[in-house]
Structure 1
Amino acid sequence: MVDNNVNDHSVVEITDEDRDVIARINVDSEASRDRKNQVELTVSSLRGKLHRQPPFPACSCIFRVPKVLRRHNEKAFVPNLVSIGPFHHGEENLRVMEEIKRWYLHSLLERKPTPETSLECFVEAIGRIEQQCRDCYGEKLDIYSGKFVEMMVLDGCFIIELLRRYKRLVLWDDNDPLEYTSWMLKVLQNDLFLLENQLPWNVLKCLFELTKVNDDHSLLELALNFFESSVFNQTPQIKEGVQTKHLLDAVRESLISLHKPQSTGTSYWETIPTVTELLQAGVEFKSKSREWNNMLDITFKNGVMEIPPIDIESNAESLFRNLIAYEQCEPDIAICNITSYAVILDNLIKSSKDAEFLIQKRIITTILSKEDLACFFNGLYKDTIPSHFSYVELTKNVKQYYNHRWNRWRTILSRDYFSNPWTIMSVVAALAILVLTFLQTLYSMLSYY
């Protein structure tokens, strides 16, 4: 018997189709590894860019004006003579004032009103609050520490020295262009209330205290005195217990200090008719006394709207727009008082006829023409959101009065039939004839029956 042990080796033949499948598997596997590596790289890159803290602190109070607001009038937000703070620092057309700033600082150091009046004291004091100052700006500042502190000291001392000279607490130098060139002082007043051109109040307060003498006024008093002639001709009011954030904030607080909002603010309000339409409905307009009232104190009662007088000068649009922009950007502002005021004036003034009437009533004093005044108020609060409106009750009462038909009929009767003695006599005669005719008809009917 022969034992045949034959090893049978089966040979598996790989087809072209199998090769294609294997190739696709390898390609997919390699692509998967590439995607995984790319995901890991992207995750690592993104994780390194994350912020553990908010990028802009809640205490920010100095902002760049949003494009949606500045597009209506770019010039209203841009300084013409002096840069304060980092947003416009180094601009070519503002460099002349840098020389005057340094001269003012030298004059302050040379006068040396207190033992702490020295560059060493200034730099050390501002250096201690540098981070607080940086947090006041609504964007990250790419300025190294030494440069930032130098800017704060130079700009802060310039403002304080300017406020003291304006109040005559310090004598003007005979060679000071801000004294003998009147236009420069006017432009400076405008530049120093611009939202983008502000310095944190704690910088001014710190430098003011280091250079304060016994007969000095408070910093807030000096600031409001400086702006008095350029803020709608309103008497500045100092509100105790309010933490001031910068010069523009001080101006706003002085304007709203005597004003008591008619509500806590709401996102809904009713638009009111124009001056001309309200006159046709019998509404009477009166100008309030300047002595006891603030420009925001608009009231409506028994068909009479009382509006405090306001001066609209060449800088009025810039001031209005910066105050409105500040209310739109500052999260701590509970009620948009200035924006609400702009809404009311925009509702009342739609034509030159409306503007002319308020000028005749001495409610508005202005150098503008009646046509320009109408355009001025019509564009003030565009693209804003006055979500906290302060005249809710006023607009509600005005609209109710306007919609009451009897008020309109009474006005028509008064204007068309009782405006002079002759029309009154005609109406009385017509009524007498009507009554006599009625009595005659009645007598004839009674006689017949």
Structure 2
Amino acid sequence: MGEINIYSNTETQRRPKQTLQPEDGKPKPLIRKVSKMLRDNKNMEKYYEPRAVSIGLLHHGRDKLSLAERHKLKLAELFITENGVDVIGLHSKIQTKIVRLKQCYAEEDVKRVNISDENLAEMLLIDGFALLHYICYASLGNLNDLKNIGMDMEAFSQDLFLLENQLPDEVLDDIMTSATKGGANMRNLIDKFIDQTVRDIRGSPLTSPSPQQQQQQPPPAHLLQLLRNRLVGDDHHQTDEKTKTGKQQVGRVNELKSAGIQLKSGTSEGSLRDNISFASGTLTLPCLVVNDSTASKLLNLIAFEMSPDFQNDSQVITSFIFFLHSLIDQPDDVKELRKAHVLINNNNDDDAVAGSDVEVARLFKEIGSSDVGSIPEAYLEVKELIQKHCEKKWKTWMTLFAFAAAATALLVMSFSSKFGAPALN
């Protein structure tokens, strides 16, 4: 990033080799490439690649994203000016912990990019400045004020939640601490931005967690994990009854409908973990907006949960999406979910909605075709209840069929007895 240098008179200091552990004493998941088994599905690759901007190490220096480097620099300069940041002191601080920050990325990616420690510190700060400036303006509804920068803000917003495009949260913390004008409020603005993103995914805002609940959550490694924490809710415990292993299957939506099962949208307050249930012939599911933007976020959350160093047995997002996949085979399944307000389409054009149903069905088929290996059989209890309901319904139909057959036979016998057998010539 030689041409993008917002620092002056910064000396590279000789530093001893560091072997620092994460400050909270717990390992955090690394920022790494999406697993090969997900990337091998060529139809899905577009959901993992940045469209407009590189954030962090993994896509640094890519030619197709070079234009955005100038846009990021403009955002960074605006952030510095508006927030009173001591750039020289902050750069020095980041350099003193650069070894630990490199350990936030997979070692093979650090070697592949081959960037000096000083340039890496500079790059992390420019990306952090640009990221925070965008988030602050987006959370306050002031993105129109950034139009003159030339950045595709919609693409920028989507790129922020790619697994391969994450920035260590520690960098953002250091920047916010350094900002003398409004830095103390920036964490609140990040939370507000995440709330807005959750609303875009769920179709309505969730109940905000209490300060005590927020303290119980482990510090996120990056923005994508913060989004997952917000969607999933309380997730500091290990595998529970809802995520044990098993092979119970459920039919597609219209098969369940034939078995007398009704669909219902859950409350907007519930997390993805707690908002799936089955009782009295009704399957309750969380509402979900499905479009290219939300698909990208959800698929990157799946990629995050499938990372080899993901420190949790509860792959809630993965489990939820594959549960939906089991329900969707054809566009008419999507239509039923949409009629029940489980899947949300804000387009009022009937033809566009029908086309969207086809696209959503195609998306879930592609998700199901991904070679994800072993996934948790989540919501096993719900699936077992559905299966028992269907078996009971089937037994009821078989009983009625047998009763009807027996009644028909009795009528025939009664008719034959009353009128006698026909005479034979």
Q: TM-score range by the shorter chain?
A: 0.7 to 0.9
Aligned to 2:173: 205
For residue 82 of structure 1, the aligned residue among 53, 77, 84 is 53
Deviation at 1:389, TM superposition (A): 3.4
Distance in 1 (CA, whole Å) between partners of 2:339 and 2:167 is: 40
Distance in 2 (CA, whole Å) between partners of 1:251 and 1:374 is: 25
Residue type at the aligned position of 1:240: Q
Residue type at the aligned position of 2:115: I
Distance in 1 (CA, whole Å) between partners of 2:57 and 2:201 is: 25
Distance in 1 (CA, whole Å) between partners of 2:186 and 2:125 is: 21
For residue 278 of structure 2, the aligned residue among 282, 300, 324 is 300
Aligned length: 359
Does residue 240 of structure 1 match 2:208?
no
Distance in 1 (CA, whole Å) between partners of 2:184 and 2:119 is: 33
Question: Once structures 1 and 2 are overlaid, which stretch shifts more, 207-216 or 239-248?
Answer: 207-216
Within 5 Å, give how 1:31-430 maps onto structure 2.
59-72=28-41, 73-113=44-84, 117-140=85-108, 141=110, 142-168=114-140, 173=145, 176-177=148-149, 184-211=152-179, 213=182, 216-218=185-187, 220-225=190-195, 227-228=197-198, 230-235=200-205, 237-238=208-209, 239-241=213-215, 242=217, 243-257=219-233, 263=241, 265-290=243-268, 292-296=269-273, 297-329=275-307, 330-366=309-345, 368-381=355-368, 382-405=370-393, 409=397
Deviation at 1:265, TM superposition (A): 3.0
Residue type at the aligned position of 1:299: S
Deviation at 1:59, TM superposition (A): 3.7
Q: RMSD between aligned alpha carbons?
A: 3.3
Question: In 2 relative to 1, CA 264–271 (structure 1 residues): closer, same or farther, beyond 3 Å?
Answer: closer
* Contact persistence 1:189–1:230 (CA under 8 A): no
Deviation at 1:407, TM superposition (A): 6.3
Residue type at the aligned position of 2:378: S
Distance in 2 (CA, whole Å) between partners of 1:314 and 1:106 is: 31
Residue type at the aligned position of 1:293: G
Distance in 2 (CA, whole Å) between partners of 1:135 and 1:201 is: 13
Residue type at the aligned position of 2:203: N
Deviation at 1:62, TM superposition (A): 0.8
Deviation at 1:146, TM superposition (A): 0.6
Q: Which is greater in Rg?
A: 1
Deviation at 1:321, TM superposition (A): 1.6
Residue type at the aligned position of 1:151: M
* Contact persistence 1:81–1:188 (CA under 8 A): yes
* Contact persistence 1:283–1:304 (CA under 8 A): yes
* Contact persistence 1:310–1:365 (CA under 8 A): yes
Deviation at 1:234, TM superposition (A): 4.7
1:370-429 Cα shifts (integer Å, max 9, x gaps): 22222211222521145433312111111122122456529999xxx9xxxxxxxxxxxx
Give me the TM-score of the superposition, normalised by structure 2: 0.75
Question: In 2 relative to 1, CA 95–299 (structure 1 residues): closer, same or farther, beyond 3 Å?
Answer: same
Question: In 2 relative to 1, CA 412–218 (structure 1 residues): closer, same or farther, beyond 3 Å?
Answer: farther
User: What secondary structure, in the 3-state scheme, does the structure 2 residue paired with 1:320 have?
Assistant: helix
Distance in 2 (CA, whole Å) between partners of 1:107 and 1:313 is: 32
Question: Once structures 1 and 2 are overlaid, which stretch shifts more, 346-355 or 293-302?
Answer: 293-302
User: What secondary structure, in the 3-state scheme, does the structure 1 residue paired with 2:302 have?
Assistant: helix
Distance in 2 (CA, whole Å) between partners of 1:412 and 1:97 is: 68
* Contact persistence 1:163–1:222 (CA under 8 A): no
Question: In 2 relative to 1, CA 231–406 (structure 1 residues): closer, same or farther, beyond 3 Å?
Answer: closer
* Contact persistence 1:288–1:308 (CA under 8 A): yes
Residue type at the aligned position of 1:126: I
Deviation at 1:320, TM superposition (A): 2.1
**Segments of 4+ moved more than 4 angstroms:** 169-175, 236-239, 258-262, 405-408, 410-413
Q: Percent identity?
A: 23
Higher relative contact order (CA 8 A, sep 6+): 2
Deviation at 1:194, TM superposition (A): 0.3
User: What secondary structure, in the 3-state scheme, does the structure 1 residue paired with 2:102 have?
Assistant: helix
Residue type at the aligned position of 2:220: T
* Contact persistence 2:47–2:299 (CA under 8 A): yes
Distance in 2 (CA, whole Å) between partners of 1:412 and 1:63 is: 58
